[in-house]
Structure 1
Amino acid sequence: MKYIESVNNSKVKQWKKLLTKKERDKSGTFLVEGFHLVEEAIKQGEQISEIIVSEKVGLPPRWDLGSTPVTTITEEISDSLSDTEAPQGIYAVCRQANPEAGNAKSLLLIDAVQDPGNLGTMIRTADAAGIDAVIVGRGSVDIYNSKVLRSAQGSHFHLPIIRGDLHEWMDKLQEKDIPVYGTALEGASAYTDISGGDSFALIVGNEGNGVGKDYLANTTANLYIPIYGKSESLNVAVATGILLYYLKK
């Protein structure tokens, strides 16, 4: 087990760079923080490349680390790596996946969702609903953003999350006779008018502007969720959960 005590160590500097999208894209790696996310990375196995732990923190004996290298660091270094108010003192460097979803029958397509909490919650919800894959289009926050990772609660290690062109994906799905449902407030049907099933795609959109009109023009049907109270709209992550669970029934 290695021990690093200098914040100026080259490895520490590299780990800190992983808090930026530029370095994550360049290196093809990302940093997860906290016991739960590290444990999920360990369970997945293939993506984890290194565990980093504060000298004041013990590793749970139930963890099967295999040959994964572990580096111990000072509390000062740990605090410098943390993106939370209450650091747990444990991190893992993971390799970005290159997943495929060619056989996916149920998919969530995401158009320009910019809030990391929303994106992470949507990924976690898709995982919980048994969705086969999540496709994240241009204009969305980085899927490996630290807040996205925390909100997703380990779902990055459970299902394919693919950065892709939504037009291309919509064309592929419709060629396979998989219906693609958009979400809109105008020119749409109540979601309960649609029968759910194992095969479908749902496209949801930006917090302020919704799904792009160019996507909505090419869907199988567009859906809305009735509002019974005085609120003007639902949070996009909440709406996504309602629709995914209904369509997947």
Structure 2
Amino acid sequence: MGRIESVQNKQVKEWKKLLTKKGRKKQNKYLIEGLHLVEEAVRAGIEIEHILIREDKLDQYTIKVDQEPENLIIISESVSESLSDSVTEQGIFAVIAQKEEENAIHGNKPVLMLDQVQDPGNLGTLIRTADAAGFEAVIIGEGSVDLYNPKALRSAQGSHFHLPVIHSDLKKWISQFKEKSIPVYGTALDERAVSYHSVEPEQQFALIVGNEGNGVSDELLKETTANLYIPIKGQAESLNVAIAASILMFSLHQ
């Protein structure tokens, strides 16, 4: 068990860089904050590089940590504050290597695909809902917010530990699913779009949802099996992407 008290510590400076996309990409690591997320990582058997706990929280945070003693580090309040991205820092963090399991995605169960989803809260909610709906994986396309964004991680509530979540080329995956005769549904209001009520629930399909303002790109919509819309009965112009995707995920999955 180690101890770090100074924010000027070299290791602390490297961890602080994990709050930025550039820093995460360079180190190929990310930082999670909060007891719930750390417990979820431990329960999921995720390989954790370091667990950092504020000294005054040791008695409160009694988690089972299957780590070598040197991987558990006691930190000062000032170090904890410097690493926190929350309004109220919780005093417990974990440093984890980024691992994306592309080979774990086969399309045996539904797959959610995200095209240029830019709000981290939406991205995290979409991952959490895909987990709850029994989806196999989430594929994050180019132009979307980074999975490891602290706000996205808080919103996902640890669901990214439960199913593969990767950053990849959506067009490539559309082709692969269609080669396996797995239907790929876009979400749109174009001339091809049909109500989601007209689609029978299935065990295997891919669902693409898009950017908060512009929806799914035309380039991808041209490649889909069908494009779906949700009939709106009131006067609201549209639905939030996470809400719309939630309706479709639970309705379409058998």
Give the partner amino acid of 1:94. I
Maintained 8 Å contact 2:40/2:161: yes
Scaled by the length of structure 2, the TM-score of the pair is 0.95
Alignment correspondent of 2:88:
86
Alignment correspondent of 2:144:
140
1:193 aligns with 2:198: yes
Aligned-CA RMSD value: 1.2
Worse overlay, 203-212 or 79-88? 79-88
Distance 2:169 2:91 in 1: 37
Match of 1:230 among 225, 235, 238: 235
Alignment correspondent of 1:127:
131
Distance 1:62 1:162 in 2: 28
Alignment correspondent of 2:117:
113
Alignment correspondent of 1:98:
100
Give the partner amino acid of 1:183. T
Maintained 8 Å contact 1:136/1:163: yes
Match of 1:161 among 148, 161, 165: 165
Distance 1:109 1:47 in 2: 26
Alignment correspondent of 1:73:
75
Alignment correspondent of 1:203:
208
Maintained 8 Å contact 1:167/1:215: yes
Alignment correspondent of 2:177:
173
Unaligned runs of 5+ in 1: none
1:152 aligns with 2:151: no
Maintained 8 Å contact 1:47/1:97: no
Between the aligned residues of both structures, percent identity stands at 55
Distance 1:179 1:72 in 2: 50
Shift of 1:169: 0.3
What CA deviation, in whole Å up to 9, does each residue of 1:216-238 have, x standing for no partner? 11110000001111110000000
Unaligned runs of 5+ in 2: none
Distance 1:3 1:64 in 2: 17
Maintained 8 Å contact 2:116/2:211: yes
Distance 1:38 1:48 in 2: 9
Scaled by the length of structure 1, the TM-score of the pair is 0.97
Shift of 1:62: 4.6
Q: How many residues get paired?
A: 249
Shift of 1:101: 3.2
